[in-house]
Amino acid sequence: MSRKAEIKRKTKETQITLALDFNSRELSVDTGIGFFDHMLTSMFFYARIGCRINVKGDRYVDGHHTVEDTAIVIGQALKITLGDKKGIRRFAHCYIPMDEALCFTALDLSGRAFLKFDAPMPQERIGEYDSCLTVEFFRALSANAGITLHMKALCGDNAHHITEALFKSFGVALREACRIEGDDVTSTKGILE
């Protein structure tokens, strides 16, 4: 199983090129938003998935289109790389502490998109990144990858720590859920779509 995907997406708001490779650890992330680059790098590092992504977005408006469209492309690439999901573990969860913050992610690579997000952000901005974009990122990613995703900040006073713990917990949970454990589909229906 190659578990690779390459996607190019161009709209009036963003231009994105992405290469995702489950057999690599190479990371190159450039979205033009420093904190967002840091979050994506952390997420893919802990997922143990290689990713090369370059984004040119209309940041003169704000970061919304850049973040959301990046999530759309990542979600599409994950869907391609997982294919029929034969042999994957499917379910996983992870708690990540980050100083005073503690965050939780549980996910199901079911093919059914759903997001339950409960992570209030104490500060509105983290550098050039609007804290409210974290939920937008995971909403677009789950919708395009077909992931049932539950995320919660159990505690935290610092939006940077909360956001980073959420991205890292997603990465670790994704790594575990994508792990090949057999040769059949993990579903009593015999199919994941």
Q: Is the pLDDT of residue 186 over 70?
A: no
Query: How high is the pLDDT of residue 178?
Result: 95
What tokens were used for 63? 């970061």
Task: List, for residues 136-158, the tens digit of each pLDDT value.
Answer: 999 999 999 999 999 999 999 99
pTM given for the model: 0.94
What tokens were used for 70? 């990046």
**Domains parsed from the chain with CATH numbers:** 4-178 (3.30.230.40)
How many residues are listed for the chain in this entry? 193
CA gap 170, 46 in Å, rounded: 9
CB of 134 closer than 8 Å to CB of 71: no
